[in-house]
């Protein structure tokens, strides 16, 4: 079986990691920043050196096309994203783009013609770190958001996506609208500890967790910490503490697949000698089954009722509801076959994170391929993978893709 | 028994409350601000109208003197502070100053001569809201801080106390250094709910709580909320939640006099979909007995040890240690006698807050008189008192003071 050039792939990853490199070994390459522009230019240069054309759509999504024999057929798509979290890692997203580039280079090296065209994509603003929400441009492309909505999103300095696209020269002319696709693949680091802990090379992603996000506001009464007896307090922050522990318990009741997280808290007045009067916090639940998400939400409301009995006013807003996703069995089967034929250990997995390919799955057959990452660390400068993990993921992508692109 | 002119006192409070008045009915009269200057000027005008001279020291402390027959004897001092919290209340501090002014006016009306001089003081920067720490100028006056330290404190715009004093014309020439005093009184709103709840007019403050303040840093590991299983997490924020509830428990174990508060929390990275990696929070304990503060601190360390067993790194720094204070029994006895003779209900109390008079107690016999405030609300625009509370506090001050000023 043919395989990718692992050294070239690794060198390409290393070169890209210099763009937006941080002193601690990570990258900061926020969507539509100068670093993103430099990374995009580099990707386009590499495509051109491989004799491939790059189209850009009105949201800055980049499509590099390697024509097949039958360009009238729906193409096969692969890719991920070039943008990163602030102080993020060197592999999240970009590994999927550069593994795709390596697949194209390998096909060129071997002078392999496919039946269908192959598209390599870089989706704009996957992370959502600069412009919320995440997966913004793939969301428009697949019809989840309007283009006007996406263009009007602003960063913390008030700059819109529209302005940022123009500033870096990536407001293209191609419509940001889906085209028929035969199959979609995204190879990505797991961002969790499971594959490494189990010593498995490849995760075959059969589904993605549903997510429910909430904003919870707790109101008590701000009071002097010295003069207000313990029994006279309506302390919003100890109310929050009860909620955060109950949220954790809800997650533990749904192990191994459930996730329950309180990631954000804003305390007011947040002064050392004032009993806190108001807290705003986030709660999020993830699970591959809708029924479990329902149960988690019900438990959240029970926890909130308990806080109300303790004298706090509590408001719960569900701000995001994202149903569990089942990826296409045909797509996952090609991944399993590729991994098996290559002799790699694989296991089925659930994606706990959202990915552009979760949106793609709504309009075309899609699935994902995970490779291990050290200790599951991601969204962190310490994020790391081994060259052999990188190689195996790209080889599985190559063969799953070849299989799909050969179908007529 | 003679009594103050309650209507005049109330009208004076009302007039002063216009200086720095906020739309919601409170005041913002930050130390050494323009509003503070206007309030100081008004106080000096009122003193002059009463035929009394006002001295200002190098830290802006104002001393209004009503001479007695025997000016060579150590005087009796009363007073509080004119400055307020941002969006603070109309009575915190200023009530003690204007009740003192009303005492002086009453003595004038009745042409009462005292043996000892009476001093009415306005201490600079009691609140510590603009310049930290609180009770800055009384702290210098009583030898707790150096004058150079106080003058070099800066506000959030970088302006020093020295510059601010000069800007409002209140850098006086008298040395900011204590003089012998026969007795010191400060009448103040309780800032807690006890007197109102119990229907009692006067709190005789026999002691002030000791305070221990801590900064606690909890380190876990920031991780992706979707991909990190519950059992693989080292969540700094749920660790904080355990700590905050344990701190509350420590306070409850020491009711009624103990206080335990987590007022401040900073979560990192504070992102909805990231398991928190680091939390910095405050903890503070207050209690009138040193042994109880020791026990509370020991319990804090036990709670921290439990968090370490759960895989978090935890650092505890004690940043402030302020011993409990016992006020002078002679001073409190005069207050009890005055309240009893006036037919007012009184009870002994512990001050949970710090006050200038806590510092004064170190250099002279001192005590405090509390009056109720509605629902214990203070450091809040909603702070409120009733005219009859105001009257009773001033009458007790009048008679305690007359008693002390008559002693030779």
Q: What CATH class is the domain A210-322? A: alpha beta
CA distance A323 to chain B (A): 14
Residue B183: is its pLDDT beyond 90? yes
Tokens of A326: 């089942």
Tokens of B218: 């909890």
Residue B163: is its pLDDT beyond 90? yes
Residue B271: is its pLDDT beyond 90? no
User: How many secondary structure helices (H) and strands (E) does chain A include?
Assistant: 12, 16
Closest chain A CA to residue B273: A263
| pLDDT, tens only, A9-52 | 999 999 999 999 999 999 999 999 999 999 999 999 999 999 99
Do A6-208+325-405 and A210-322 have matching folds?
A: no
| pLDDT, tens only, B316-328 | 999 889 999 999 9
Secondary structure class of B66 (helix, strand, coil): strand
Between residues B97 and A271, which one has the greater pLDDT?
Answer: B97
List b or e across A243-279, with b for residues whose CB sees 16 or more CB atoms inside 10 angstroms. bbbbbbebbeebeebbbbbbbbbebebbbbbbbbbbb
Please give the share of chain A, as a percent, with pLDDT higher than 90.
95
| pLDDT, tens only, A123-177 | 999 999 899 899 999 999 999 999 999 999 999 899 999 999 999 999 999 999 9
Please tell me the CATH code under which domain A6-208+325-405 is placed. 3.40.630.10
Res B379: pLDDT: 86
**Distance (Å, whole) CA A83 – CA B370:** 61
Please give the share of chain A, as a percent, with pLDDT higher than 70.
100
Res A156: pLDDT: 86
Tokens of A311: 């004298």
- Which residue from A224, A252, A259 is facing B226, i.e. has the nearest CB? A259
- Which residue from B192, B194, B235 is facing A224, i.e. has the nearest CB? B192
CA distance B67 to chain A (A): 36
| Kind of pairing between the strands at A259-261 and A278-287 | antiparallel
Res A271: pLDDT: 86
Say whether B255 and A230 touch across the interface (CB within 8 A): yes
Q: Are B344 and B392 in contact (CB under 8 A)?
A: yes
| pLDDT, tens only, A369-400 | 999 999 999 988 999 999 999 999 999 999 99
The whole-number average pLDDT for the span A324-340 is 98
Q: Are B180 and B88 in contact (CB under 8 A)?
A: no
DSSP string, B351-363: E-S--HHHHHTTT
Residue B156: is its pLDDT beyond 90? no
Res B361: pLDDT: 96
Residue B356: is its pLDDT beyond 90? yes
SS3 content of chain B, % helix, strand, coil (to 5): 35, 25, 40
The answer to whether A111 faces chain B, any CB pair under 8 Å, is no
> What part of B 165-224 touches A (C-beta under 8 Å)?
190-194, 209, 211, 213, 221-224
Residue B32: is its pLDDT beyond 90? yes
Res A331: pLDDT: 98
Q: What are phi and psi of B6, to 5 degrees?
A: -65, -35
Q: How distant, in Å, are the alpha carbons of A3, A11, A17, A51, A150 from that of A8?
A: 12, 5, 14, 17, 36
Res A132: pLDDT: 86
DSSP string, B98-144: HHHHHHHHHHHHTTPPPSS-EEEEE-TT-S-SSSSSSSHHHHHHTTS
B223 contacts in A (CB within 8 Å)? 376-380
Res B273: pLDDT: 87
Contacts of A100 (CB under 8 A, 6+ apart): A78, A79, A80, A120, A187, A397
The whole-number average pLDDT for the span B223-238 is 94
The whole-number average pLDDT for the span A306-311 is 97
Q: Are A74 and A63 in contact (CB under 8 A)?
A: no
Question: How large is the ipTM?
Answer: 0.87
Q: Where are the domains of chain B?
A: 6-208+325-405, 210-322
What's chain A's average pLDDT? 97
Residue with tokens 């020491």: B254
> What part of A 270-309 touches B (C-beta under 8 Å)?
270-276, 282, 284, 286
Residue B138: is its pLDDT beyond 90? yes
Res B124: pLDDT: 98
Say whether A267 and B265 touch across the interface (CB within 8 A): yes
**Distance (Å, whole) CA B128 – CA B31:** 8
The whole-number average pLDDT for the span B354-371 is 97
Say whether A230 and B354 touch across the interface (CB within 8 A): no
Say whether A191 and B235 touch across the interface (CB within 8 A): no
| pLDDT, tens only, A199-244 | 999 999 999 999 999 999 999 999 899 999 999 999 999 999 999 9
| pLDDT, tens only, B88-134 | 999 999 999 999 999 999 999 999 999 999 999 999 999 998 998 89
What's chain B's average pLDDT? 97
Residue A273: is its pLDDT beyond 90? no
Res B45: pLDDT: 98
Q: Are A398 and A103 in contact (CB under 8 A)?
A: yes
| pLDDT, tens only, A248-268 | 999 999 999 999 999 999 999
């Amino acid at each position: 079986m043919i395989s990718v050039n692992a050294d070239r792939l690794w060198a390409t990853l290393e070169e890209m990691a210099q763009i937006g490199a941080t002193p601690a070994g990570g990258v900061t390459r926020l969507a539509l920043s100068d670093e993103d522009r430099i990374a995009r230019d580099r990707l386009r240069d590499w495509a051109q050196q491989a004799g491939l054309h790059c189209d850009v759509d009105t949201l800055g999504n980049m499509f590099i096309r390697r024509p097949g024999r039958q360009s009238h057929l729906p193409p096969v798509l692969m890719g991920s994203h070039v943008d990163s979290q602030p102080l993020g890692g060197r592999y999240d997203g970009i590994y999927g783009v550069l593994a795709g580039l390596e697949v194209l280079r390998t096909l060129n090296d071997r002078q392999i013609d496919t039946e269908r065209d192959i598209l390599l994509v870089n989706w704009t603003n996957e992370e959502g770190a600069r412009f919320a929400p995440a997966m913004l441009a793939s969301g428009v492309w697949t019809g989840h958001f309007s283009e006007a909505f996406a263009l009007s999103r602003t960063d913390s300095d008030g700059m819109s996506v529209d302005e940022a696209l123009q500033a870096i020269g990536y407001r293209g002319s191609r419509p940001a609208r889906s085209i028929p696709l035969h199959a979609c693949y995204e190879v990505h680091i797991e961002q969790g500890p499971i594959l490494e802990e189990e010593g498995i090379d490849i995760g075959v992603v059969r589904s993605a967790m549903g997510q429910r996000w909430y904003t919870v506001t707790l109101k008590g009464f701000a009071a002097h910490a010295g003069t207000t007896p313990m029994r006279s307090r309506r302390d919003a922050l100890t109310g929050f503490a009860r909620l955060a522990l109950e949220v954790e318990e809800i997650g533990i009741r749904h192990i191994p697949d459930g996730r329950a997280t309180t990631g954000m808290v804003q305390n007011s007045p947040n002064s050392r000698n004032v009993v806190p009067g108001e807290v705003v916090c986030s709660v999020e639940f993830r699970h591959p089954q809708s029924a479990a998400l329902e149960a988690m939400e019900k438990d959240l409301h029970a926890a909130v009722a308990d806080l109300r009995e303790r004298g706090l006013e509590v408001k719960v807003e569900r701000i995001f509801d994202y149903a569990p996703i089942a990826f296409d069995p045909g797509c996952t089967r090609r991944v399993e076959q590729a991994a098996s034929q290559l002799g790699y250990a694989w296991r089925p997995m659930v994606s706990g994170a959202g990915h552009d390919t979760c949106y793609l799955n709504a309009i075309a057959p899609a699935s994902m391929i995970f490779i291990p990452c050290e200790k599951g660390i991601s969204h962190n400068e310490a994020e790391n993978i081994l060259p052999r993990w990188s190689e195996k993921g790209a080889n599985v992508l190559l063969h799953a893709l070849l299989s799909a692109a050969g179908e007529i």
